[in-house]
Amino acid sequence: MMEMGDWWRRGKWRIMVMLTMLHIVGILIFTRGFLLTRTELPYYSNCSDVSESPCFTGQSNPYQNQSNSRCWTRPAVDRLVIIVLDALRFDFVAPSTFFKEPKPWMDKLQVLQKLASTKRSARIFKAIADPPTTSLQRLKGLTTGGLPTFIDVGNSFGAPAILEDNLIHQLASNGKRVVMMGDDTWVQLFPHHFKKSYPYPSFNVKDLHTVDNGCIEHLLPSLYEEDWDVLIAHFLGVDHAGHILGVDSVPMIEKLEQYNEILDKVIEVLDNQSGPGGLHENTFLLVMGDHGQTINGDHGGGSAEEVETSVFAMSFKKPPPTMPSEFDTSSCEMDLDQKKTCISSFQQLDFAATVSALLGVPFPFGSIGRVSPELYTLGAGTWNLENNIEGNCPNQKEEEWMQNYCNVLCINSWQVKRYIDIYSASSVIGFSSEDLLHISDMYAQAEENWSCSSESLLLFKDESCYSSLPLKRKIDAYFKFLLNVAELARSKWTEFDLKMMGIGFVIILISLPIYFLAMMTKSVNGFSSLLFGDSEIFVKLVFALFMVVIRACSFLSNSYILEEGKVASFLLATTAMFKLRNSIKREKMLVEAIVFLLLITILRFTIEVGLSKQAATSLFMSTHSSWLVEIDPGHPVWIYMAEIIPILALIFLAYLLYIIMARSSCHSIWKYVVLGTILCYILIAVHWASESDVLSSMLMLQGIGRNFIPRIIYAVGLGQLLLLAFSPLFHKDRDLESKMHLLIKTLAMLSSCSSTIIVLSGKQGPLVALVTITGGYCIMRLGNIDRGSTDKVAGILTFDPLSVTQWSLLATCLFFVTGHWCAFDGLRYGAAFIGYDEFVLVRQAILLMIDTFGFSHIIPVFGLPFLVARQKLLGHTDQDGRLLLLQLSQMYLMYGLITAASVIATILCVIIQRRHLMVWGLFAPKFVFDVVGLILTDILICLAWFYYVGRREDGTQLTTLDHRD
Amino acid sequence: MPNVGLDNNLYENIVETIVRSVRNELENFKNQIKAEMTENMKLRHMIAMDDIRNPKKVKLESIEGDDDGINQLEVTMCPLVILFYSCFRKNPEKCSYLKAVIRGVLALPIGALVNALGAIALGAPVGIQYFPKTVNWSLLMSLFTFVPAASVFGSSWEDWRRIFAHTKPNASVDYMICLPAHGAVIGAWFGAWPMPLDWERPWQEWPICVSYGAMAGYLITMVLSFVLVLPRGRQQHPKAD
């Protein structure tokens, strides 16, 4: 027990390193389960690829010679009309008899129901989408035939255009003319692919009609045109009506009735021209939803209501196609008119492959779907009946169909296999080798024995009819292979690994009690004295913990995450008011308290400016900052102010440093470091002056290289850090624990970091630095309010817990003040190119990292000793270094605890909200930022500890001190 | 001392009137909420009826309706609070009833200013269209916090410090000032929490939910202070006789 205690006591650095490792391990495990990643491959399918497939060996392909236009599969339909009704629930389309009880929004699209029940060439499908069920991801999934994830690693990072191989690309590159109308997301995704497009803005959710009316305006006239092969019309009204009013509302029903009318007209037009030689002789109509929606109109998650959407397919070919009964998986019910309606099931994953097969274009390279038998039949069921109608086998039609379908499946399986193989070879996080082996096995099984061709089937020919048995077996084998691949891909790309997430979370959670234990090592009875003795500190501790807990809880809602900066400043202002109350109570440091409050007010306004910037790019928020409008940014006075104030602030900072250096007697090495910083500040001022139009003309500074000064500053900063790191080698005096020394060390460290951070932050840098200094000073002074009255170190906490909380909240505020927010578009990419023109990943990433986390993580962690050192200077006069060390360690632990607690809350929220609409838009970026911040904080705390304290704790000196008490 | 007895009678009368007015206010709230709900329905209907050209306008109108409610509340409560607390002025022999009332009236704008500054530090929206709302709200807060203290204590810094910084109420009046004031501030603080949520309800606008929070906190702590004070009054009563 004693040894254990000694270990705890002596090895603070060990605990810190251990906590860091714990966090890293936990986060890695959690991330593996949570952040699903998929690599986008830059390959495209080509018509000629198919010769590599095993499907056309020898003379087995009877159609190859017949038509040269043929690519992968024989085109079955000439023209395709796709009408996408956004957020089309399954029960909008299916007859209400399929559900337990009829609801007001059912049976509104009666034209579809009627056709499905009366015509053989029309059918309703229940389409299952894969989460995330947001329009953008779904469109991507539908066209690529893949499963989009949060991080689709690829070239399209940031830009929405799909660079992966996709259906629209294949259509365009194979000479199909595509016309698009409606939702402008399509144009964002496929900027150059459409022959004609009529995009309408999809942004305004409250606008139910613009997109739809635009669609209607162009849809019917286009149907009479000849200049397209594929027509896409994307209606948004139902989605928007759901978002603002929910499913059970009057506008929703009105919308559905409107669609019914439009669809009726569309089908009438198509039907009228479907005669021989007509414009729509061989046209295929698809009316489909991209995803479903809940009763409240939300979508994005994976609940049944959200993923179940519908496809209505109809062929206008005469005569109508037939469907072999073996592959018909439909379920039938009587509809309202007592007619039999059958509904089949369909995976959206299969859409790209099926449509490609129908139109005869290559399947998208990354497609892992299967050509759906039922949908394919509707389009291609009877395509060669004309030739073989005189056959005397009763089931010859089915034979022909199956043979054709088997061929299609062969190509399909080959393409999927090719994708899986290449993906595993080129992706860092591919599939496991067992899974790959399993899949290869199944593919080999499907491929062996027979080919689909009629020659090999001759063996099984009895009399004049083919035996369908081997064909069916083969098709089943292909099915098995394709379904297995889809299942594997789903588990890899859409399902969170809850077990991993749980383990990771628990590992991170374990760090919390360790923090508490490590903070309480001084004495066990300290705890009781904390509870019953010093009520002041106890109240503060409770208040501080309350703030931390309430901030952590706020992450449960997406709204609070969006406005995290405001929440932090709100809490900081609350603590400041608490301090003001205290200072009134003690009747001292009133000025500091009020200055601090004013400072927070300034911070708060700056954060709002940042939020308004975020709102401009974010889909999720709209901020109104009315008071911003009053300042006209174009006014010359403001331009001058914007140029000059940062430089003045910088000069003031340099002056401040100089004053402090001049007043304190310290070692030459620290002096050199600080002098270097002052030099850097001057250089930065010169740099900015040379960049600005206003000043450069005055100072004639244009000539100096733009990149030269920042590089010097980076170099000086690095040199300073190295000097500081090796400073123990230069002098080894024993009075290291003295508060003055600690103060100087902190100052040197901060100053050497600050120049780089300031130059990266741009013009706001020196102002933010001033704010940080003022805020830090106020927090430190206010932390001392009660120190004078209770002149003893009572309880386990030797410091004011509220001060550390404030320091941490201030750090959070600074993150937002410097114009960042927790999203990838919140990174200030410009900062990465200060001093460099060309892009080198590691170098630019480091610069971006320093800019992003400089003021919010690096400076606060290294500046924490100020709170300790000044406290000691004011309160006590004894030179007890042990107490100083204890305070320092407890403060660092407390700081780490606060950071870890909020990150744990974020992780918990991510677990709870993993199926939330905004999980990828909001929670996941927040998670990434928080996690990186936590690891950085941990590492910085370790570094700071080594720098300020080193391993001195292990020395014998402390053991003797321990024996004394 | 008949004076105290009279005071106590007065006190009980006032308690009764307060209780009645509180009940009235609650009734008002209920009506307000009902009205707001119908307003809400109307808003939804408006959107539904395709009149969505200017949803903001509809929203603002409904909010202004709410502001009126708060205004009314202030107008009715202000004289009540000032007159009521002025009865308990400190040193009644030195300071006349009228003087206490004047002190209360004077404290109203000063307290409003302090409250408004506090709210802005915490993040209250600033802008021309918010100005009247902020003024309304801060007057209300001032009524809850500063006015009673000013009526009772005047400019005695020691007493103010004792009540607001140390939170050490001694006399029954102290309880009736200290607790509701703290309750109102804490209630307002909690009332601000629903504001960032994306429910898009009209009451989430500044300062409606903050006012509701303040009023709720005020009412709860008012009742609490009565509970704490009434036994004391009874104890003091026989002693006085």
Q: Please state the length of chain B.
A: 241
Q: b/e for A411-433, b at 16 or more Cβ within 10 A?
A: bbbbbbbbbbbebbeeeeebbee
Name the strands in the sheet holding A79-85, side by side, starting at the edge strand that comes first in the sequence.
Answer: A196-200, A178-183, A230-235, A79-85, A283-288, A308-315, A122-128, A340-347, A331-334
The domain locations on chain A are 83-149+159-317+327-383, 521-964
Average pLDDT over residues B42-64: 41
Name chain A contacts of B164, Cβ cutoff 8 Å. Answer: 581, 584
> If residue A314 lies in a helix (H) or strand (E), which one and from where to where?
strand A308-315
- Flag whether pLDDT at A530 surpasses 80: no
- Strands A230-235, A283-288: pairing is unpaired
Shortest Cα distance, chain B CAs vs residue A535, angstroms: 13
Q: Which residues contact A796 (CB under 8 A, 6 or more apart)?
A: A519, A520, A522, A523, A526, A527, A529, A530
Helix B55-86 vs helix B172-191: crossing angle, to nearest 10: 170
- Of A568-577, A646-655, A916-925, B29-38, least confident by mean pLDDT is B29-38
Got the DSSP string for A280-307? TTTEEEEEE-S----TTS--SS-SHHHH
* Structure tokens belonging to residue A57: 């060996």
CATH code: domain A83-149+159-317+327-383 is 3.40.720.10
- Flag whether pLDDT at A959 surpasses 80: no
* Structure tokens belonging to residue A412: 């399909």
Name chain A contacts of B159, Cβ cutoff 8 Å. Answer: none
Question: Which pLDDT value is given to residue A24?
Answer: 95
Give residue A788's identity as a one-letter amino acid code.
Answer: G
Q: Do the chains contact at A597 and B121, CB–CB below 8 Å?
A: yes
Average pLDDT over residues A735-752: 76
Q: Do the chains contact at B48 and A567, CB–CB below 8 Å?
A: no
Name chain B contacts of A597, Cβ cutoff 8 Å. Answer: 121
The angle subtended at Cα A634 by Cα A628 and Cα A635, nearest 5°, is 95
Phi first, then psi: what are they for A299, rounded to 5°? -155, 170
Residue A190 near residue A162, CB atoms below 8 Å? yes
- List C-alpha distances in Å: A252 to A92, A102, A216, A239, A921: 10, 16, 17, 9, 27
Facing residues of A179 across strands? A196, A231
Residues of chain A above pLDDT 70, percent: 78
Name chain B contacts of A625, Cβ cutoff 8 Å. Answer: 127
- Tell me which of A204, A535, A558, A585 to substitute to probe the interface with B (most B C-beta atoms closer than 10 Å): A585
Q: Which residues contact A448 (CB under 8 A, 6 or more apart)?
A: none
- Flag whether pLDDT at A203 surpasses 60: yes
* In the block, residue with structure tokens 């960032």: B196
Q: Does the predicted interface ipTM exceed a cut of 0.85? A: no
Shortest Cα distance, chain B CAs vs residue A585, angstroms: 5
Q: Do the chains contact at A566 and B196, CB–CB below 8 Å?
A: yes
Average pLDDT over residues A284-304: 83
Is B41 part of the contact surface with chain A (CB cutoff 8 Å)? no
CA distance A958 to A949: 13
Average pLDDT over residues B8-36: 62
* In the block, residue with structure tokens 């994306």: B198
Report the SS3 class of residue A124: strand
Using CB atoms, which residue from A559, A573, A601 is nearest to B197? A559
CA distance A471 to A450: 8
Name chain A contacts of B161, Cβ cutoff 8 Å. Answer: 584-585, 587
pLDDT band per the 50, 70, 90 thresholds, residue B2: very low
CA distance A185 to A38: 22
Q: Which residues contact A177 (CB under 8 A, 6 or more apart)?
A: A195, A227, A228, A229, A230
* In the block, residue with structure tokens 């936990």: A26
The secondary structure of residue A462, as a DSSP letter, is B
Name chain B contacts of A574, Cβ cutoff 8 Å. Answer: 122, 189
Q: Do the chains contact at B189 and A209, CB–CB below 8 Å?
A: no
* In the block, residue with structure tokens 């200055």: A595
C-alpha dihedral, A919 to A923 to A925 to A926, nearest 10°: 180
Residue B189 near residue A574, CB atoms below 8 Å? yes
* In the block, residue with structure tokens 């009660």: A786
Average pLDDT over residues A361-374: 89
pLDDT band per the 50, 70, 90 thresholds, residue A158: very low
Shortest Cα distance, chain A CAs vs residue B209, angstroms: 16
3-state helix, strand, coil in chain A (%, to 5): 65, 5, 30
Residue A303 near residue A294, CB atoms below 8 Å? yes
Question: Which pLDDT value is given to residue A697?
Answer: 57
CA distance A671 to A675: 6
Mean pLDDT of chain A: 79
* Structure tokens belonging to residue A852: 């992003």
The secondary structure of residue A737, as a DSSP letter, is G
* Structure tokens belonging to residue B181: 């004031």
- Flag whether pLDDT at A793 surpasses 50: no
- What is the tally of helices (H) and strands (E) in chain B? 7, 0
Facing residues of A233 across strands? A83, A181
Q: Which residues contact A508 (CB under 8 A, 6 or more apart)?
A: A22, A23, A26, A27, A30, A900, A903, A904, A907
Phi first, then psi: what are they for A84, rounded to 5°? -100, 120
Using CB atoms, which residue from A557, A566, A585 is nearest to B197? A557
CA distance A379 to B47: 42
Question: Which pLDDT value is given to residue A794?
Answer: 44
Question: Which pLDDT value is given to residue A261?
Answer: 92
pLDDT (tens digit, 9 = 90+) per residue, A748-781? Answer: 889 889 999 998 888 888 899 999 999 998 988 8
> If residue A376 lies in a helix (H) or strand (E), which one and from where to where?
helix A373-380
The secondary structure of residue A465, as a DSSP letter, is B
Residue A116 near residue A124, CB atoms below 8 Å? yes
Phi first, then psi: what are they for A174, rounded to 5°? -110, 25
Name chain A contacts of B50, Cβ cutoff 8 Å. Answer: 208-209, 251
Phi first, then psi: what are they for B107, rounded to 5°? -70, -20
- Of A259-263, A900-904, B216-220, B224-228, least confident by mean pLDDT is B224-228
Using CB atoms, which residue from A245, A577, A625 is nearest to B44? A245
Name chain A contacts of B130, Cβ cutoff 8 Å. Answer: 626
Phi first, then psi: what are they for A82, rounded to 5°? -110, 115
Question: Which pLDDT value is given to residue B30?
Answer: 63
pLDDT band per the 50, 70, 90 thresholds, residue A936: very high
Question: Which pLDDT value is given to residue A798?
Answer: 62
Is B93 part of the contact surface with chain A (CB cutoff 8 Å)? no
CA distance B109 to B117: 12
* In the block, residue with structure tokens 């990828």: A920
- Flag whether pLDDT at B197 surpasses 70: yes
- Tell me which of B60, B122, B164 to substitute to probe the interface with A (most A C-beta atoms closer than 10 Å): B122
Q: Do the chains contact at A574 and B189, CB–CB below 8 Å?
A: yes
* Structure tokens belonging to residue A878: 């004894």
The angle subtended at Cα A166 by Cα A165 and Cα A170, nearest 5°, is 95
Name chain B contacts of A210, Cβ cutoff 8 Å. Answer: none
- Flag whether pLDDT at A825 surpasses 70: no
Query: Which span out of A194-208, A262-276, A456-470 was modeled with the highest average pLDDT?
Result: A262-276
Question: Which pLDDT value is given to residue A795?
Answer: 45
pLDDT band per the 50, 70, 90 thresholds, residue A522: low
Question: Which pLDDT value is given to residue A961?
Answer: 37
Shortest Cα distance, chain A CAs vs residue B48, angstroms: 6
CA distance A152 to A147: 10
Residue B63 near residue B205, CB atoms below 8 Å? yes
Name chain B contacts of A576, Cβ cutoff 8 Å. Answer: 121
- Flag whether pLDDT at A466 surpasses 70: no
Question: Which pLDDT value is given to residue A897?
Answer: 92
3-state helix, strand, coil in chain B (%, to 5): 80, 0, 20
pLDDT band per the 50, 70, 90 thresholds, residue A138: confident
Q: Do the chains contact at A558 and B196, CB–CB below 8 Å?
A: no
Is B185 part of the contact surface with chain A (CB cutoff 8 Å)? no
Max Cα separation, chain B? 72
Using CB atoms, which residue from A245, A558, A570 is nearest to B123? A570
Question: Which pLDDT value is given to residue A389?
Answer: 42
Among B residues 196-215, those touching chain A with beta carbons less than 8 Å apart: 196-198
The secondary structure of residue A532, as a DSSP letter, is I
The secondary structure of residue A336, as a DSSP letter, is T
Q: Which residues of A touch B (CB under 8 A)?
A: 206-209, 244-245, 249-251, 557-560, 562-563, 566-567, 569-570, 573-574, 576-577, 581-582, 584-585, 587, 597-598, 600-601, 604-605, 625-627
Q: In sequence order, which ranges of A176-249 are alpha helices (DSSP H)? A: 185-189, 210-223, 237-245
- Of A195-209, A403-417, B182-196, least confident by mean pLDDT is A195-209
Residue A237 near residue A88, CB atoms below 8 Å? no
- Flag whether pLDDT at A453 surpasses 50: yes
Residues of chain A above pLDDT 90, percent: 18
Average pLDDT over residues A235-262: 88
- List C-alpha distances in Å: A371 to A317, A405, B178: 20, 9, 75
Name chain B contacts of A609, Cβ cutoff 8 Å. Answer: none
Chains A and B form CB pairs within 8 A to the count of 70
CA distance A179 to B206: 48
Q: Which residues contact A234 (CB under 8 A, 6 or more apart)?
A: A84, A86, A180, A181, A182, A183, A185, A186, A211, A215
User: Is residue A157 classed exposed, middle or buried when 0-12, 13-18 and 19+ CB atoms within 10 A define those classes?
Assistant: exposed
Q: Which residue of B has its CA nearest to A607?
A: B123
Question: Which pLDDT value is given to residue A456?
Answer: 47
Q: Which residue of A has its CA nearest to B186?
A: A574
Name chain A contacts of B121, Cβ cutoff 8 Å. Answer: 573, 576-577, 597-598, 600-601, 604
Report the SS3 class of residue A248: coil
Got the DSSP string for B205-232? STTHHHHHHHHHHHHHHHHHHHHHHHHH
Using CB atoms, which residue from A207, A250, A557 is nearest to B48? A250
Q: Which residue of A has its CA nearest to B197?
A: A559
The secondary structure of residue A788, as a DSSP letter, is T
Cα A145–chain centre separation: 21
Q: Do the chains contact at B122 and A207, CB–CB below 8 Å?
A: no
Question: Which pLDDT value is given to residue A644?
Answer: 83
Is B192 part of the contact surface with chain A (CB cutoff 8 Å)? yes
Q: Do the chains contact at B47 and A569, CB–CB below 8 Å?
A: no
